[in-house]
Every structure is written in C-alpha cells, then in structure tokens.
Amino acid sequence: MGNGGSLCNNIGLKRQLTILVVGLDNSGKTSMSRALVGETLTDTVPTIGFSKFVTKQKGITINIYDLGGSSRIRDIWHNYFAECYGVVYVVDASDSQRLSEAHENLSSLMKHPILKGKPLLLLANKQDHFDALDEVDVADKLQLELLANVCQTPTRIEICCATQGTGKNIDPIIRIGFHWLVETIVRNFDKIDRRVTNDIASQKAKEDKEKDSRRARIERLKALQNEVEETVTQICVDPLNGIKNHFQPLEEITEEWNLPGSISETDRPQCMESPSGLTDLMSQAQIDQTEDLNGSEMTESGHIQNDFRGTISAPSEMTGSSSVRVPVLSRNDQVSSASPTAKKLNQRSNGKPLPPLTKNGKLSKQ
C-alpha cells in the first residue's frame, strides 16, 4: 500500500479536515490559497471575514479557511480555532518593518490553548522581491524555534512566491510544505481529532449559553418597553375623547376640525372654535369630573373611580389658570353619561351614546 493509503487509514472514516491560513494583511494568504486550489490569481482584494477553499490530497478533503488579516478581523479569528487541525502562517518576507508585529501575532496564536501544539507551516512569502528575507532571517525575527519549543508545536518554515503560478504551475515549495502539513496532521490524527471534537462541543455550548442570555435580555427589554408604552398611553389618554391629549397644539386641534371628512361646521361645538372655548370646555370637564368623583353624578355602576394616579399640569396658555388637575383614567373608567361633559361630548358625537373606554384607555369602536 502506498503513502496515500496509509494516510487514509489513519484518518478513518472522516477523511476531512480543516486548515487555517492566517497572517497579517497583505502577506499573500488569499493568493497562496487560490494558487493551491488552481484558481486565477488576478484581482486579489483584501479579505473581509474569511474565504473557504476546498482541495483534495490523497483522498482527504481539505477545507482551507483563509482569514482576513486586518487588525479588526484578527479579533474574530478565535471563532475558527476550534475546528482547526493545522495552521499555515503566511509572512510578507519583503516587509521587514512588520516582522515584529507578525511575531506578536504568531506568538499569541501559537500560545492559544486551542491551537497550541497543532502543526504549523510558516511560509515566508514574496521571495520574488529583491529585499525579501530568507527562511533563516525570518525564523530569527519571529523567534520561531523558541515558540515551537515552548508550545511543543511541530513546525516547518519554507520560502515561496504565491503569485508565481496557480494549480499545476504553483510554486512547488508551497505544495511540498502543504503536503508536510497534511501528513503531520494525519500522523497525529487521533489526538488532534479528539481535541477538535471537544473544542467544537464546548464552543457550541458557550454559543448556546450566550444566545440564551441574549434572548433573556431581549425579553426583559421588550417587557420594559411594553410597560413604558402602557404608561405613556395612560398618561396621554384624554378623558374627554379618549384619543387626544391635553398638550396637543391648538393649531393641530383646530386644523383637524377643518379636514375633509371631519365633523361639519354646523355640528362643531362652539367651544372648539377658539382657544378660549377649548379652555372653557376643559375647565367645565374639570368641574364635572370633580362632581362625579364627589358622587354627585355617579351612576349605579360608579363610572369614574377615585383613582388619580398623577397630576398633570396643563400649560397655562391653554387653561388660563396656573395648573389643572387631570385625572389619569384607570382601565375600566367611564365618564358618566349624565354629566355635563358627557352631554357636550354627545353633542360632538351627534347625539350618539359614548362608547366605553377600551383596555388601553381609548374609546372603543362601536
């Protein structure tokens, strides 16, 4: 049996693994991944999030997750660690200015508990640039040997040029390096696979827990919102017509009477014609309601409950007085139909009986 056969035996029925391609932005990760799967290399743009590539090697399906390297995207890399069996780290060997940043980044990756010890291929890319550092210098700048020992990580470094060609024309060093990575993973498959299975399960449990607490937070917010809306409805409901509040601008109220389809001029109560008329109506309403509350006009069922939940001061320009106490009606409140206010309201509704207030304090449609 050839090498391919033994690789497949090791990996069992799964025959599938995931490799992460990471490194700083502009290092050549997407170019390298594309070259590996035989895609065209033109029009490479910075990766936002990640790109997935799939290739096969000796009967094993390999999912390549090419993660964007910009600093903001690096913050989400950890979300992909759990399912990772091995890592390709790409460095722009021609950009010596950024090698210390690359070292910091590589060090935190290799020390991450989920990645620690998983096989690593380091590609010192862009070797076609005249000033590119070779593998000895890159390894030195990245302190690769030290990191590999500290983290007990099987590590290999290669120099390459990702843009040299794609598919069959790919830089052969990339293929050799990739082949080493897959072989190393497969040789340690049982151990790595156990870690991957456990890490995926605990990541899922963590995500489920976060989802639950997010859902609970949203429900709490919704309940709070409903409570606020209910309170606002109760405060804004007008005991006179059940819809408007006392603080609606007078221009709006008078404009409404002139709208097409509104009550005709002859049906319109005199008191609504001018602000002073409105003031009269409001003052009268206040007297009526006080009378009702005193029981003078209480009907059998005791319509208005003595339930002042708050005192609202109407603006003095509306009322002519410094403040007016406005009752906040409870859900079951009704205005006595015998009260003068009700009579005035009947006038406004063409003599039809006043509908009872609905749950939210508005007049029900009858």
Ligand X SMILES: Nc1nc2c(ncn2[C@@H]2O[C@H](COP(=O)(O)OP(=O)(O)OP(=O)(O)O)[C@@H](O)[C@H]2O)c(=O)[nH]1
Binding residues for ligand X, per CB under 6 A? Answer: 23, 25-31, 44, 46-47, 68-70, 125-126, 128-129, 161-163
Extended strands (E) in 153-253: 155-159
Tokens in use for 62?
Answer: 């390999």
Residues paired with residue 121 on neighbouring β-strands, in sequence order: 88, 156
Residue 75 marked as a ligand binder: no
Q: How far apart are the first and last CA of the chain?
A: 88
- Is the CB of residue 216 less than 8 Å from the CB of residue 154? no
| Rounded distance between C-alpha atoms, residue 17 and residue 58, angstroms | 12
In the bound complex, what is the minimum distance in angstroms from residue 180's beta carbon to ligand X? 20
Closest to Mg ion by CB, 30 or 279: 30
CA nearest 234: which of 55, 359, 86?
359
Structural element, H or E, at residue 90? strand 86-92
- Minimum CB separation from ligand X for residue 35, in Å? 9
Smallest CA-to-CA distance from 19 within 70, 72, 90, 76 is with: 90
| Other beta carbons within 10 Å of 171 | 23
Binding at 279: pick from ligand X, Mg ion, none (beta carbon under 5-8 Å per type): none
Site string for Mg ion, 31-60 (x = CB under 5 A): ----------------x-------------
**Smallest gap, in angstroms, from Cβ of residue 45 to Mg ion?**
8
Residue 43 among known ligand-binding residues: no
- Tokens at residue 182, please? 């897959």
Nearer to ligand X, 21 or 357 (CB): 21
Distance from the Cα of residue 79 to its chain's centroid:
16
Encoded amino acid at 341, one letter = T
State yes or no: 27 annotated in a binding site: yes
Report residue 10 as tokens.
């090791």
Q: What is the closest distance, in whole angstroms, from the C-beta atom of residue 98 to ligand X in the complex? A: 12
Instruction: Show the site string, 288-327: x = touches Mg ion by CB under 5 A, - = not.
Output: ----------------------------------------
The helix-helix angle for 172-187 and 3-11 (nearest 10°) equals 50
Shortest distance (Å) from residue 164 CB to ligand X: 7
Q: Which is nearer to ligand X, 84 or 162 (CB)?
A: 162
Minimum distance from residue 358 beta carbon to ligand X (Å): 59
Cβ 360 to ligand X shortest distance, Å:
54
With contacts defined by CB under 5 A, name the span among 30-38, 89-97, 128-136, 247-255 that binds Mg ion.
30-38
Minimum distance from CB of 87 to Mg ion (Å)?
16
Does the annotation list 58 as a binding residue?
no
CA 159/CA 339 separation, integer angstroms: 95
Please, which of residues 204-263 interact with Mg ion by CB under 5 A?
A: none
Burial 116-127 (b: 16+ CB within 10 A, else e): ebbbbbbbbbbb
DSSP-assigned beta bridge partners for residue 124: 91, 159
**Residue 293 DSSP symbol:** H
Q: What order do you get walking across the sheet with 50-57 strand by strand?
A: 50-57, 60-67, 16-22, 86-92, 120-125, 155-159
Which of Mg ion, ligand X, none does 28 bind, CB closer than 5 to 8 A by kind? ligand X
Q: Mask of contacts with Mg ion, 121-160, x by CB under 5 A?
A: ----------------------------------------
Q: Which one of 18, 27, 30, 125 is in contact with Mg ion (CB under 5 A)?
A: 30
Which stretch, 4-12, 26-34, 72-80, 88-96, contacts Mg ion (CB under 5 A)? 26-34
- Is 126 one of the annotated binding-site residues? yes
70 binds, among Mg ion, ligand X, none (CB under 5 to 8 A by kind): ligand X
The reply to whether 116 sits in an annotated binding site is no
Do the Cβ atoms of 33 and 21 come closer than 8 Å? yes
Binding site members: 23-30, 47, 69, 125-128
Binding site members for Mg(2+): 30, 47
